[in-house]
């Protein structure tokens, strides 16, 4: 009888661990999504921030000091959110598809001068595994379907 009680207890504990793992994964996915949503919301709502970011991405030269600083901090915020997703995938908390969906934006802007400038300055501030992962993304072919990162003949700063 005691053996049956032990088996039932182990099954119960196993179910509790499974439920806990599922809850942790859901919370991690929600947190990662919220972080990226916050960045995109800031860019969408704040014209000054989006203008600085957009102009810096297209500019072959750094913007004036304060604008360039704001650009670098904004980019770093987005990249740190992506790094978080990468690390959560590495530990098995998030699935690979989520990470790929989040980091596709890097491939969309990889050929813009601001991305190159950012990456040369800030790569060393990131987790080595993530930095190597981004290096792989930067070597991919550009995504031609994301027209939002393209420009017409006249850029906003002209």
* Annotated domain spans of the chain: 27-149
> So what's the pLDDT on residue 150?
58
Q: pLDDT tens, position by position, for the chain (158 residues)?
A: 666 766 666 566 565 555 566 677 667 677 778 888 898 899 999 999 999 999 999 999 999 999 999 999 999 999 999 999 999 999 888 889 989 988 999 998 999 999 999 999 999 999 999 999 999 999 998 876 546 555 554 455 54
> So what's the pLDDT on residue 31?
77
Q: Does residue 77 contact residue 39 with C-beta atoms inside 8 Å? A: yes
What does the buried/exposed string (b/e) look like for 78-102 if buried means 16 or more CB atoms within 10 Å of the residue's CB?
A: bbbbbbbbbbbbeeebbeeebbeeb
Cα torsion through 99, 104, 106, 110, rounded to 10: 150
Q: Distance between CA 137 and CA 79 in Å, rounded? A: 13
Taking alpha carbons only, the member of 66, 84, 85, 74 closest to residue 109 is: 74
> So what's the pLDDT on residue 154?
44
> So what's the pLDDT on residue 2?
62
pTM exceeds 0.75? yes
């Amino acid at each position: 009888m005691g053996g049956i009680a032990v088996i039932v207890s182990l099954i119960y504990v196993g179910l509790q661990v499974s439920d806990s793992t599922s809850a942790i994964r859901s919370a991690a996915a929600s947190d990662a999504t919220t972080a990226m949503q916050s960045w995109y919301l800031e860019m969408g709502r704040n014209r000054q921030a989006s203008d600085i970011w957009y102009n810096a991405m297209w500019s072959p030269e750094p913007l004036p000091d304060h604008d360039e600083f704001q650009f670098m901090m904004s980019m770093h915020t987005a990249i740190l959110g992506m790094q978080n997703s990468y690390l959560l995938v590495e530990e098995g908390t998030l699935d690979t598809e989520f990470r790929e969906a989040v980091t596709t934006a890097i491939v969309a802007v990889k050929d813009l001068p601001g991305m190159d400038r950012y990456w040369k300055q800030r790569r060393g501030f990131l987790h080595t595994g993530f930095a190597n992962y981004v290096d792989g993304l930067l070597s991919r072919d550009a995504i031609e379907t994301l027209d939002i990162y393209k420009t017409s003949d006249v850029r906003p700063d002209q």
